[in-house]
Structure 1
């Protein structure tokens, strides 16, 4: 297996003013992008809003998105309907769905964004968001990954994003990740540990992201107090294996 992985942190974000045409200040950083990867990622990003801050309502004409809330309390608007969000909340928005995010708490609100190209036209507009265990495809999923467990992104999204979950390793526990026909991205939310790929070992702590390109593998190892991380898997079709 190849040994090259993408490691990034949130510790030097860019300052953004007027995100999605909303007034005010926010912060942003890119953790991974299509360059160096085989899958059809648009980007893996981290975003931040101060108390009262707003990421303005908008819709995408060619991409789908996942939001995973890391810290703070907020409210997401999906096609005009509002839903509360908190740490652990995951939101999947299909192509063409209007969405925006507001920090309604007293502390900063931060979240991950995974943006990927869609494979289909947007579905007919609907006012209903559904939980991840719904049997039919709708325009959005709002779920708490820590309470409800893994979400199958294909229940809503048409692109290559597959399973998203929160993984908790026991003290000194390990997990093996192999990028065979898929690519992985993980983001540490709690605890410390290491990720080992070949002869390289990288320290893990909250705010560190690791993305595994096709053909790589890694062992995640928790420290003395355990380790928690967000984990997303993206399918890589055979024709994209070059």
Structure 2
């Protein structure tokens, strides 16, 4: 969230990070085995009620133990592999492309019972008021539809949470395609590259990279996403409101 300095709100500029150099954690939150974890964005440096943006890899046989968020709401996006999420005692099999919503107060864990690494992207946001919604799982690529060229899947996060979540998008760009947008004044976004090679232009800066590149774009900033590779480019976008 923006910082107040001598009584005035001071906004931040763009942020770029990637998934290199993660910490190695053992028995994360009381789970089993080994995870590789990295915080990509700290909410104190983002506009809006973000708490954090993280990237986690669970090695085979590993898990993040059961826990309850009392101060934040959360989404998981499964980047690759498969896992089992246990949500309020119910086991849910998840795979690449699944978006899992965790309302405040829900007990949850995630375990990798396969023989390959499982990667997932995490966003936590501070809650608002009112009753919590039920947890949900959506397979976002199913929402892309058919056709060539740029395709975009939209998930409205508003009904799933009490906090000021807006929408989650999956952008699929063909080779040579680009998308140019301006972030509205009432929200900020984080873009994260899943597949392919991209350049993300924000104002006068350009951030180039492949899978794992993350860029936070503040309100009212224009940005341009360009597929610079020979194959498809897939990027997820998470939007959170700015009061």
* TM-score, reference length from structure 1: 0.87
- Asked if structure 2 preserves the Cα contact closer than 8 Å seen for 1:95 and 1:121, the reply is no
**Is the CA contact 2:195–2:210 (under 8 Å) kept in the aligned structure 1?**
yes
Note the C-alpha offset of 1:142: 0.3
Describe the SS at the equivalent of 2:158. helix
Q: CA RMSD in A?
A: 1.6
TM-score (norm 2): 0.86
Distance 1:88 1:37 in 2: 25
Q: What secondary structure, in the 3-state scheme, does the structure 1 residue paired with 2:69 have?
A: coil
Counterpart in the other structure of 2:231:
225
The corresponding residue for 1:185 is 190
Deviation sequence 1:55-95 (CA, Å, 0-9, x none): 11111111100000011111101100011111000000101
* Structure 1, unaligned runs of 5 or more: 124-137, 238-242
Alpha-carbon distance, 1:110 to partner: 1.0
Residue 164 of structure 1 is matched in structure 2 by 168
Q: In 2, are the aligned partners of 1:36 and 1:213 still within 8 Å (CA)?
A: no
Distance of 1:32 and 1:9 partners within structure 2: 10
1:194 aligned onto 2:199 = yes
Aligned residue pairs total 222
Question: Unaligned 5+ residue runs, structure 2?
Answer: 1-10, 144-152
Choose between structure 1 and 2 for higher RCO, CA contacts under 8 A separated by at least 6 residues: 1
In the alignment, which residue of structure 2 is the partner of 1:39?
48
In 1, Cα distance between the equivalents of 2:100 and 2:203?
34
